[in-house]
């Protein structure tokens, strides 16, 4: 039978240099240059020189942009057929609109990319290596296989390497494996798999304590870090809910515009009208149907939403993610650093027999003893060392202990031993010198001769077995509460030789206390989880931690209610054995916590949730989270502790690593969607009075009430600021008391279209055309009479038609602020853009009638003051009619309930 080749971790340290063609003094300059040429630079990024160009040209692929560009081409053709009618100016106007919209969207994406570049600080820029027998600092990208890395406390590791020397080396592999506890490393050969070996350091991880040397065996995409990065880059993200809805809306409006335009063009040809007239008419129908200002307003609204989110510590990379977060049905949350503070903290010092917490004075004395078995140093920023030892020091200071005095009393320290699972030390106290051992209870139990109680008594002798069982029960109770438990035991030394080895001192120990340690839950998380529940958003906890720890956090945070706890947890091993169908049933049955999970299993959970028509948000900070972040509808990475790969794979970055910020983002996202729906409704209303004149023009012998320039002055002029004002309306107080919208609930619903086109749109069209024909008839026009564009009567009539639409849009604007409320409240005054929009519409409606420069630009003329006041009546007409509809809706909804 063929044997598997041995891996680097399985060889003795002395053989590693020859296997990797290196030497104890490091590589030579020539060898480094040769290997750089062979394996490439130490970078996990795949260069994409076309990324910027693809991003730019993608902006021209939506239907609106294509239709506008085609319309511009038709205008140029029309100009070539009949020069002098200004169709070339219209063509350039449409082309500029399409280009500006594309440029604006591209600039927003480009700015987001630049913001990401500024965040790329995870991997160190310089690293210490030994080359040609001398220590050198070199750029991370210049590291090659065979290089000898010099590791010390605080270093971030730049490549996968095999340990050849280790002195108390402790590393944090959480960015790669998700395991919160630091891993001690040795130089000894190991038969375990590469990822589980205790003689390997991995790129992207960091040194917590100790020093050592390691020979690099993998760089760049060949590292475990790089493999996961490459995997996440290969995953194609599904388009966001808003992208789907926008594409659908654009398709519908484009089809309506195209079908209407060509249908009436053919009708005009069949009825004998000239090609020129039919082209003008078709262009008018298309331009009237396409809300040219809608997509730029979309982009502006999302950009403003992203700025508001940034103020809430939520950085948005992709503008569509602003709304996508609001559509989320399920949040798959990591534990460490997101729900918790990502720092170990001592929360209890417990009597090992009674399970009761000891008083502060006794806690201080016991923690002083624990410091003797802790390797921790005081720094300007606090403490450095193993996180557990740092937690001991912090709690000792909180209890008003004198850290420096205790340090002076410590005479010896025994480093934490991985196999023995304990550390030790000798300290002098007022009662004399004593040996202290700190570690796992299982590692100390066989060495115990007694157990001290909180009252000062000691259980020993024949009763020790029974008391150990009691202590075990207390330990289990603490562990099931989510605490990591450390046992503290001592031995009075008296006349014992203080130079003895640790093994000789570890006899006849007395168990003093159990120290309970946890990564504390963030204070704001329970309220945030409750808010999610009220908003109909489900929260799942997916972690690499122990099931008991995960369940404890789930209970404390409110992810799992007490009555749900029994069947709420599933381990990675159980998950691995389930088909997607069975996992789906488990999720439906109430499983909310997944413990000891792998990156592949996280992706499996995301996939199943998406198959249930759920919009899924996934949080993560490590390289191991990157594939799931990319696969989720909304990937959320941590800004402070997150890895570069996680941030690249995510769409949203939490600048404060806080779960509560996600909830704020959901509220903002929902508000953005509601506001987009408001201004979509608002903009589409004006399509009615823009289309109606062209329909009358082609069917009856009447003048055209609006030309294409008039339509563009509304769509790209006076409607833009009011639309933006609706886009920045504050959140409704009820927005987080409603469930998330369903995936099939679109922006352009049948109800919205009927309301826009056949109710408010017809109302605007009716009143504007009523005044148009009133001015014509008052001026002597009769049915079938043709008027030249330069005729003062025609110019006055078109002027009042345009002015009426502008003013009626004010009533439409106020009515769109709320679905069922009037819209007349103090919020109008607070929304300065809304006030500005109203002022612009009023001023523009007056200027096109009475200001010569505007009359000339738009081919309009003046009307009497009385007729202009009739146009103002349109504001009351449209607002009052819509308010009556709202009251009827409220009445029928209450009746139905």
List pLDDT tens digits, range 655-712.
888 888 888 888 888 888 888 889 889 999 998 998 899 889 888 889 999 987 888 8
Residue 367 predicted with pLDDT over 60? yes
220 Rama class: left (phi>0) / alpha (psi -120 to 50) / beta? left
The C-alpha atoms of residue 514 and residue 732 are separated, in whole angstroms, by 50
Beta bridge partners of 450: 460, 510
pLDDT tens-digit series, residues 43-99? 766 666 676 777 777 777 766 677 778 778 877 877 777 776 666 777 787 788 778
The H or E element containing residue 415 is strand 410-417
Residue 418 predicted with pLDDT over 70? no
The C-alpha atoms of residue 764 and residue 758 are separated, in whole angstroms, by 10
Q: Please report, for residues 94, 247, 665, the alpha-carbon distance to residue 292 in angstroms, rounded to integers and kept in the order given.
A: 9, 15, 29
Residue 802 predicted with pLDDT over 90? yes
Beta bridge partners of 438: 423, 488
Q: For residue 117, what pLDDT is reported?
A: 54
Residue 371 predicted with pLDDT over 50? yes
Question: 217-231, 379-393, 426-440, 445-459: which range is least confident on average?
Answer: 445-459
E strands, 219-320, in order: 314-316
∠ CA 660-666-672, nearest 5°, is 140
Q: For residue 623, what pLDDT is reported?
A: 65
The pLDDT of 835-864, averaged and rounded, is 94
Question: 110-114, 301-305, 753-757: which range is least confident on average?
Answer: 110-114
Strand pairing category for 509-518 and 448-452: parallel
Question: 237-241, 265-269, 600-604: which range is least confident on average?
Answer: 237-241
**What contacts 652, CB < 8 A, 6 or more positions away?**
314, 315, 316, 317, 321, 325, 634, 635, 636, 637, 665
E strands, 720-830, in order: none
Residue 188 predicted with pLDDT over 80? yes
Joined tokens for residue 469: 């069982």
270 burial (CB, 10 Å; 0-12 / 13-18 / 19+) is exposed
Residue 533 predicted with pLDDT over 50? yes
Half-sphere CA count of 552, side-chain side, radius 13 A? 19
pLDDT tens-digit series, residues 8-21? 888 988 899 999 99
Dihedrals φ, ψ of 624, to 5°? Answer: -65, -20
Residue 115 predicted with pLDDT over 60? no
CB 662 within 8 A of CB 635: no
CB 136 within 8 A of CB 129: yes
Residue 292 predicted with pLDDT over 60? yes
The C-alpha atoms of residue 730 and residue 355 are separated, in whole angstroms, by 51
Q: Please report, for residues 89, 521, 881, the alpha-carbon distance to residue 517 in angstroms, rounded to integers and kept in the order given.
A: 73, 12, 65
Task: Please state, as a whole number, how many other Cβ atoms lie within 10 Å of the Cβ of residue 38.
Answer: 9
CB 786 within 8 A of CB 749: no
**What contacts 653, CB < 8 A, 6 or more positions away?**
119, 314, 315, 317, 636, 637, 638, 639, 642, 647
536-559 in b/e burial notation, b at 16+ Cβ within 10 A? Answer: ebbbbbbbbbbbbbbbbbbbbbbb
Find the helix packing angle between 792-815 and 659-685, rounded to 10°.
Answer: 150
What is the distance of C-alpha 816 from the center of its chain?
30
Give the predicted TM-score (pTM) of the model: 0.70
The H or E element containing residue 118 is helix 87-119
The C-alpha atoms of residue 159 and residue 194 are separated, in whole angstroms, by 14
∠ CA 257-262-263, nearest 5°, is 100
pLDDT tens-digit series, residues 420-433? 778 899 998 888 88
Q: Give the pLDDT band (50/70/90) at residue 504.
A: confident
Q: For residue 520, what pLDDT is reported?
A: 85
The C-alpha atoms of residue 199 and residue 788 are separated, in whole angstroms, by 90
Residue 598 predicted with pLDDT over 80? no
| SS3 assignment, position 522 | coil
pLDDT tens-digit series, residues 194-237? 888 889 999 888 887 788 999 999 998 888 877 776 665 555 55
CB 823 within 8 A of CB 882: no
The C-alpha atoms of residue 660 and residue 340 are separated, in whole angstroms, by 11
**What's the per-residue H, E or C state across 428-469?**
EECCEEEEEEEECHHHHHHHEEEEECCCCCEEEHHHHHHHHH
CB 61 within 8 A of CB 254: no
Joined tokens for residue 122: 């995870």
Beta bridge partners of 128: 137
What is the distance of C-alpha 447 from the center of its chain?
51
Q: Of the candidates 805, 807, 780, which has an alpha carbon nearest to the alpha carbon of residue 792?
A: 780
Q: For residue 868, what pLDDT is reported?
A: 97
The C-alpha atoms of residue 815 and residue 803 are separated, in whole angstroms, by 19
Q: What is the mean pLDDT of the chain?
A: 84
Residue 746 predicted with pLDDT over 90? no
Joined tokens for residue 726: 């609706």
Helices and strands in the chain: count of H runs, count of E runs: 35, 25
Residue given tokens 């340990």 in the structure block: 163
Find the helix packing angle between 87-119 and 63-81, rounded to 10°.
Answer: 150
Residue of higher predicted confidence among 743 and 709: 709
The C-alpha atoms of residue 726 and residue 681 are separated, in whole angstroms, by 10
Task: Please state, as a whole number, how many other Cβ atoms lie within 10 Å of the Cβ of residue 656.
Answer: 14
Q: Please report, for residues 147, 276, 680, the alpha-carbon distance to residue 23 in angstroms, rounded to integers and kept in the order given.
A: 9, 85, 69
Q: Give the pLDDT band (50/70/90) at residue 278.
A: confident
The pLDDT of 259-272, averaged and rounded, is 82
Task: Please state, as a whole number, how many other Cβ atoms lie within 10 Å of the Cβ of residue 331.
Answer: 27
29 burial (CB, 10 Å; 0-12 / 13-18 / 19+) is exposed
The pLDDT of 155-171, averaged and rounded, is 88
């Amino acid at each position: 039978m063929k044997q598997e080749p041995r891996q680097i971790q399985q060889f003795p340290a002395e053989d590693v240099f020859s296997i990797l063609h290196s030497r104890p003094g490091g590589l030579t300059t020539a060898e480094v240059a040769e290997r750089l040429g062979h394996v490439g630079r130490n970078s996990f990024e795949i260069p994409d020189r076309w990324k910027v160009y693809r991003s730019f040209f993608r902006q021209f692929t939506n239907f609106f942009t294509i239709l506008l560009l085609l319309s511009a081409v038709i205008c140029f053709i029309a100009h070539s057929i009949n020069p002098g009618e200004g169709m070339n100016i219209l063509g350039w106007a449409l082309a500029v609109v399409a280009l500006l919209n594309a440029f604006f969207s591209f600039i927003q994406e480009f700015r987001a990319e630049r913001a990401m570049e500024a965040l790329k600080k995870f991997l160190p820029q310089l690293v210490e290596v030994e080359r040609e027998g001398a220590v050198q600092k070199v750029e991370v990208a210049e590291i090659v296989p065979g290089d000898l890395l010099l590791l010390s406390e605080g270093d971030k590791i730049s490549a996968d390497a095999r340990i050849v020397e280790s002195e108390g080396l402790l590393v944090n592999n959480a960015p790669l494996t998700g395991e919160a506890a630091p891993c001690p490393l040795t130089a000894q050969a190991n038969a375990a798999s590469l990822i589980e070996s205790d003689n390997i350091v991995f790129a992207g991880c960091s040194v917590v304590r100790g020093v050592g040397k390691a020979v690099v065996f993998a760089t760049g995409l060949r590292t475990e870090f790089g493999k996961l990065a490459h995997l996440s880059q290969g995953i194609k993200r599904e388009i966001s809910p808003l992208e789907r809805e926008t594409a659908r809306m654009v398709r519908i409006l484009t089809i309506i515009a195209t079908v209407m335009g060509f249908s009436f063009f053919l009708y005009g040809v069949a009825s004998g009208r000239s090609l020129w007239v039919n082209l003008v008419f078709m262009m008018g129908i298309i331009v009237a149907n396409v809300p040219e200002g809608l997509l730029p307003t979309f982009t502006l609204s999302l950009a403003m939403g992203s700025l508001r989110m940034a103020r809430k510590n939520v950085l948005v990379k992709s503008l569509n993610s602003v709304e996508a977060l609001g559509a989320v049905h399920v949040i798959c949350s990591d534990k460490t650093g997101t729900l918790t503070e990502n720092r170990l903290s001592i929360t209890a010092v417990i009597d090992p027999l009674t399970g009761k917490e000891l008083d502060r004075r006794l806690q201080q004395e016991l923690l002083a003893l624990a410091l003797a078995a802790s390797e921790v140093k005081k720094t300007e920023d606090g403490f450095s060392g193993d996180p557990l030892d740092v937690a001991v020091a912090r709690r000792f200071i909180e209890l008003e202990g004198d850290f420096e005095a205790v340090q002076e009393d410590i005479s010896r320290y025994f480093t934490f031993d991985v196999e023995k699972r304990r550390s030790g030390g000798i300290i002098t106290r007022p009662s004399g010198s004593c040996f202290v051992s700190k570690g796992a209870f299982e590692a100390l139990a066989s060495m115990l001769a007694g157990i001290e109680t909180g009252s000062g008594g000691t259980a020993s002798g024949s009763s020790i077995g029974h008391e150990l069982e009691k202590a075990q029960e207390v330990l289990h109770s603490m562990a099931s509460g989510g605490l990591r438990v450390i046992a503290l035991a001592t031995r009075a030394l008296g006349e014992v030789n203080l130079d003895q080895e640790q093994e000789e001192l570890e006899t006849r120990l007395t168990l003093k206390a159990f120290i309970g340690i946890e990564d504390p839950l963030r204070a704001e998380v329970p309220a945030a989880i409750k808010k999610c529940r009220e908003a109909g958003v489900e929260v799942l906890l997916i972690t690499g931690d122990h099931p008991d720890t995960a369940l404890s956090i789930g209970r404390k945070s409110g992810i799992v209610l007490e009555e749900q706890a029994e069947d709420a947890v599933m381990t990675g091993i159980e998950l691995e054995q389930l088909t997607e169908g069975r996992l789906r049933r488990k999720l439906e049955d109430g499983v909310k916590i997944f413990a000891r999970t792998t990156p592949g299993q996280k992706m499996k959970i995301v996939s199943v949730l998406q198959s249930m028509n759920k919009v899924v948000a996934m949080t993560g900070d490590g390289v191991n989270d990157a594939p799931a972040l990319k696969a989720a509808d909304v990937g959320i990475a941590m800004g402070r502790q997150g890895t570069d790969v996680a941030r690249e794979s995510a769409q949203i970055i939490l600048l404060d690593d806080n779960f509560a910020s996600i909830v704020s983002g959901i509220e903002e996202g929902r508000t953005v969607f509601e506001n987009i729906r408001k201004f979509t409704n608002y903009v589409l209303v004006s399509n009615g009075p823009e289309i109606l004149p062209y329909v009358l023009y082609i069917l009856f012998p009447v003048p055209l009430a609006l030309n294409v320039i008039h339509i563009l002055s509304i769509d790209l002029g006076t409607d833009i600021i009011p639309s933006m004002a609706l886009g920045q309306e504050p959140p409704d107080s009820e927005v987080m008391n409603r469930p998330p919208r369903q995936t099939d609930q679109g922006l352009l619903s049948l109800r919205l279209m009927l309301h826009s086109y056949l109710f408010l749109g017809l109302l605007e069209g009716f009143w504007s055309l009523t005044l148009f024909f009133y001015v014509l008839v008052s001026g002597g026009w009769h049915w079938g009479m043709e008027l030249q564009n330069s005729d003062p009567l025609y110019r006055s009539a078109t002027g009042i038609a345009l002015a009426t639409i502008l003013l009626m849009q004010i009533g439409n604007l106020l009515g769109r602020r709320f679905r069922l409320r009037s819209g007349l409240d103090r919020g109008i005054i607070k929304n300065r853009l809304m006030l500005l929009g109203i002022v612009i519409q009023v001023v523009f409606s007056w200027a096109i009638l009475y200001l010569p420069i505007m009359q000339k630009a738009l081919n309009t003329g003046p009307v009497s003051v009385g007729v202009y006041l009739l146009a103002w009546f349109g504001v009351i007409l449209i607002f009052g009619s819509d308010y009556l509809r709202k009251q009827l809706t409220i009445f029928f909804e209450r009746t139905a309930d």
